[in-house]
Structure 1
Amino acid sequence: MPGFEIKDPYTGIQVPYKLQKVAYYRENFQVFFKWTPKIIGTLAIVVGVIPLTWTYLVKQQQDQEVVVNRKPRKL
């Protein structure tokens, strides 16, 4: 029949398959690792920042003790 066109029933935007796949894995990753940033931040503070600060402060205190307890040099 002239003038009659069969259109696709789907009228939404065409999202490429690879992009759909990436979105699927990204969504599942975010759901599974929902609290990961909070956990990583806590671990970084407990494992990294606190020991480094402790070490730095102990070293400074030891340096001060060495300077304070040093005998005066004879000139």
Structure 2
Amino acid sequence: MFKETNNVGLVVKKFCFLPTGRSQQIYGWLIKPVKTEIDNSKVDTLVFVPEGLLRNMPMASLDDGKDYLIQKYAVALSPDV
């Protein structure tokens, strides 16, 4: 977490969950291959059922280089199906 002061002098807290390059790389593996299908089906919520190392991954912080995933979709996590 880091702090930044906005133009009226208020301190704004910003969070960075994954390094940008890593976040984009994982987005490219998980989301990019099915992005067209997601857009065509007008999905508004993405549900992840992560296992192993992905269980601790903050999926909402994945980004495409412009926006975080959470800015475009509601993101839900399920521990198991």
Q: Give the structure-1-normalised TM-score.
A: 0.24
RCO comparison, higher one (Cα < 8 Å, 6+): 2
Q: If each structure's strand is expressed as a fraction of its own residues, which one has the higher value?
A: 2
Larger-Rg structure: 1
